[in-house]
Amino acid sequence: MKPNILLIYTGGTIGMVKDFETGALKPFNFDQLLERIPELHLLDCKINTYSFENPIDSSDMNPTHWKSITQVIQENYETYDGFVVLHGSDTMAYSSSALSFMLKNLSKPVIFTGSQLPIGDLRTDAKENLITAIQIAALQDKQNQPVIQEVGLYFEYKLYRGNRCTKISAEHFNAFTSPNLPHLAESGVHLKIENHLLLPKNKLPLEIVEELDTRVFVLKIFPGINPEILKNILEMPNLRGIVLETFGSGNAPTEPWFLDTLENAIKRGVKVVNVTQCWGGSVDMGKYETGTTLQKIGVVSGHDITTEAAITKLMVLLPQNLSNIEFQQAFETAVCGELTIE
């Protein structure tokens, strides 16, 4: 039996074609996918498509759309062996991170991909990304079980864990990287899978996380941050959680006004997670005095998690109304490979 793959088009550059008379971009008709990309006939799988009625520019992507994607996957979970989500690249790392937390006990591949150039462009990267993403989603072992059983992101010859990557370029085809975890697979002459990096296979039934709390904020620390503005942000009445992007290995100012403002917010129930604003590396709040001080007032370490994964994990955990200790334990526990604690 050939694997059944469902292609879910949400929007983005990959789903556009150029009108060669006007030069304008217009949405691609995915019902004609096999006609426009005959190479797909060479893949040893069956492909069906599902398109959002109104394609979404990835800049407009939000948690409501994440729920729509998970709903499509849930409704078709028993029918298909794998899923490929076509998505705009700008917010793809946020969406792939979110779905990794929203699709609990996932035992099938959900592979995000997109492109920097439209599918009809002469130099497009869309065809390779699409073809290989489908091929990865269709991979099965000798027991006819999916090789990949997690949310991944495929772009420019590499498959990354969906909650471990970030976009680093607006113009290069190699637009994504995974700073703290090697890629899971690489496409060359052969498709090489790094099996030792894959998540353990799961036999539990799929569960969907439907409730997300979006009353969160990403706050990047910088020299000269204004006390009044910081105070106004942290005292917003509906604020529930903060991802604090700090310096280096988790360091922040030690001035009393800064620490007092942060501590008061934590005492009011605001959950604060510390992630590094560096391109790679991990938070270690015990390394320097500045980080230790944050730890003492109740800031939670994000270890080596990305900002994209941190903010989406925060949205998932907040509705559970956990105590500070429970929240710390939950956030610092890797549920789908999103962080490493050394």
pLDDT of 17 above 90 = no
In sequence order, the 6+-apart residues with CB closer than 8 A to the CB of 195 are 147
The encoded tokens of residue 164 equal 């471990």
Residue-wise pLDDT tens digits, 127-155: 899 999 999 999 999 999 999 999 999 99
34: pLDDT confidence band, cut at 50, 70 and 90? low
Residue-wise pLDDT tens digits, 42-62: 899 999 999 988 888 889 999
Task: Give the single-character DSSP code of 32.
Answer: G
What's residue 326's pLDDT? 97
341: pLDDT confidence band, cut at 50, 70 and 90? confident
pLDDT of 15 above 90 = no
Residue type for 244, please?
Answer: L
- Residue 301 CA to residue 286 CA, distance in Å, equals 10
The encoded tokens of residue 114 equal 């997109």
Question: pTM higher than 0.75, yes or no?
Answer: yes
Q: Is 246 left (phi over 0), alpha (psi -120 to 50) or beta?
A: beta
Q: CA torsion sign, 280 to 281 to 284 to 288?
A: negative
In sequence order, the 6+-apart residues with CB closer than 8 A to the CB of 311 are 94, 216, 218, 243
Domains annotated on the chain, with CATH: 4-208 (3.40.50.1170), 216-331 (3.40.50.40)
> Are 249 and 282 spatial neighbours (Cβ–Cβ below 8 Å)?
yes
Q: What is the rounded average pLDDT for all residues in the chain?
A: 93
179: pLDDT confidence band, cut at 50, 70 and 90? very high
Residue-wise pLDDT tens digits, 267-288: 999 999 999 999 899 999 878 7
32: pLDDT confidence band, cut at 50, 70 and 90? low
The catalytic residues are 13
Say which residue the tokens 């994209």 belong to: 308
Task: Give the single-character DSSP code of 166.
Answer: E
Bridge partners, 159 (sequence order): 154, 185
